[in-house]
Amino acid sequence: MASINLIESFQDFKDAENIDRPTLMKVIEDVFKTLLRKKYGTDENFDVIVNDQTGDLEIFRRRTIVEDGFSEDDNLEIELAEAQRIDPDFGVGEEVYEEINVLDFGRRAILAAKQTLAARIGDLKKKNLLDKYADRVGEIIGGEVYQIWKKEILLLDDEGNELILPKSEQIPTDFFKKGETVRAVVKKVEMRNNSPVIILSRTHPSFLEKLLEIEVPEIMDGLIVIKKIVREPGERAKVAVESYDDRIDPVGACVGMKGSRIHGIVRELRNENIDIINFTNNIQLLIQRSLTPARITRMEINNEEKHADVYLDPDQVSLAIGRKGVNIKLAQELTGYSIDVYRDVQDEGVDYDIDLDEFADEIDGWVIDEFKKIGCDTALSVLDLSVEELVRRTDLEEETVKDVQRILQAEFQNEQ
């Protein structure tokens, strides 16, 4: 039959991915009802039947039998003589069901229906993809690298859906090759030009959170809760954890025997240093723990202004500040307090210190700024560190560091 041949031409639509058959059948029915309205002005007396097993389509028209010569609308009514040619037993007032040949709509109308059907199926696929990933925001998924561009990477999931990993959401040391499998967290799903776009991230704190859930069963079971995560992707991360079971050490459980649990996560994050600390409501203790690996000598806290002055031995200052100031930055994000680090000066033979800005006439401003970045804002803080350490932690040349230390040392010798 023509109707069967027609629906078989829609084979691609019958087998559309991710669309359940009842929904697909309803779409096909709606498309052909639109076709009927255009041809006959109404679809109320038509039945569009789609076989949900084979996808075959049949259209039937219902017309009421009237006396010969009394038909006012050939679409809604049929004269008795014509009805009895179909079945001699028909009488006035009964309904006649006739099958409509789909080809009667004409080639142009059928082509338009096919295009409309394709558009509706496309919209359904987009909606299904949007709904699927909207429910997975915050979850880790894997994708295969399909295309690499300057600003983003295109990945494909197991079903061939496109996923985007922007450069801004990659760890600075990430390097991927085509065909490689990449893990990331679903950050957000948005519509662009009427198409769903799934954005992934490897820098978001939730990526580390989900990795910990995978590696640490106690977190998945709810025995350990992650209170807060702060990250400087590729550099350092701090994770505050708390145990709801006094018998479980949350830090030890997250790190694992000889670091067995944390090592896999560190590798996934490109050797990002991860500090696991025990959460506490004691803000002084929390600040102390958040500045790990530095050891604090003493601390002054202003709770109203959420500010802390922290004093450390000279050799601990650089540890507290961290490379490029990362350690203290993360400590401030974790605790919610602004933190100023000071050297607890107890140098023999020297009972005073001098701010580096006092040497602005002898040392270039940009050089002073380099020292300040690593927490060395006084003369003694610079002199307390070796030339090698200062070169390693700043962007200064060895000769420049030696010149600065020479200037600073001369100042103290002159005072003495």
The pLDDT of residue 81: 85
Measure the CA–CA gap between 243 and 334, rounded to whole angstroms.
18
Report residue 53's pLDDT band, with 50, 70 and 90 as the boundaries.
Answer: low
Just give the CATH number of 136-201.
2.40.50.140
Flag whether pLDDT at 9 surpasses 70: no
The pLDDT of residue 4: 39
Instruction: Give me 203's structure tokens.
Output: 């820098």
The pLDDT of residue 268: 94
pLDDT in tens, 196-239: 999 999 999 999 999 999 999 999 999 999 999 999 999 999 99
pLDDT above 90 covers what percent of the chain?
42
Closest CA to 320 of 204, 230, 205, 236: 236
The pLDDT of residue 286: 95
Flag whether pLDDT at 301 surpasses 60: yes
Measure the CA–CA gap between 114 and 120, rounded to whole angstroms.
10
Flag whether pLDDT at 363 surpasses 50: yes
The pLDDT of residue 222: 92
Q: Average model confidence (pLDDT) for the chain?
A: 85
pLDDT in tens, 136-153: 999 999 999 999 999 999
pLDDT in tens, 153-165: 999 998 888 999 9
Q: Hey, where are the domains in the chain? A: 2-131, 136-201, 356-415
Average pLDDT, stretch 239-250?
92
The pLDDT of residue 332: 96
Of residues 53 and 91, more confidently modeled: 91
Q: What angle do CA 336, 339, 343 make, to 5 degrees?
A: 160
Tell me, letter by letter, the H, E, C secondary structure of the chain: CHHHHHHHCCHHHHCCCCCCHHHHHHHHHHHHHHHHHHHHCCCCCEEEEECCCCCCEEEEEEEEEECCCCCCCCCCEEEHHHHHHHCCCCCCCCEEEEEECHHHHCHHHHHHHHHHHHHHHHHHHHHHHHHHHHCCCCCEEEEEEEEECCCEEEEECCCCCEEEEEHHHCCCCCCCCCCCEEEEEEEEEEEECCEEEEEEECCCHHHHHHHHHHHCHHHHCCCEEEEEEEEECCCEEEEEEEECCCCCCHHHHHHCHHHHHHHHHHHHCCCCEEEEEECCCCHHHHHHHHCCCCCEEEEEEECCCCEEEEEECHHHHHHHHCHHHHHHHHHHHHHCCEEEEEECCCCCCCCCCCEHHHHCCCCCHHHHHHHHHCCCCEHHHHHCCCHHHHHHHCCCCHHHHHHHHHHHHHHHHHHC
Average pLDDT, stretch 299-317?
89
The pLDDT of residue 143: 94
Q: How many residues can be counted in the chain?
A: 416
List CB contacts of 165: < 8 A, sequence separation 6 or more. 143, 152, 153, 155, 182, 184, 199, 200, 201, 202
The residue to which tokens 């027609």 are assigned: 6
At 276, the amino acid letter reads I
Average pLDDT, stretch 292-316?
89
Instruction: Give me 271's structure tokens.
Output: 């050797």
The pLDDT of residue 148: 95
- Can you name the CATH fold of 2-131? N Utilization Substance Protein A; Chain:P; domain 4 (3.30.1480)
The pLDDT of residue 113: 76
pLDDT above 70 covers what percent of the chain?
90
Measure the CA–CA gap between 82 and 87, rounded to whole angstroms.
9
Of residues 416 and 86, more confidently modeled: 86
The pLDDT of residue 194: 83
At 307, the amino acid letter reads H
Instruction: Give me 265's structure tokens.
Output: 């996560």
Flag whether pLDDT at 3 surpasses 50: no
Task: Answer whether 312's CB lies under 8 Å from 344's CB.
Answer: yes
Flag whether pLDDT at 170 surpasses 70: yes
Average pLDDT, stretch 85-107?
81
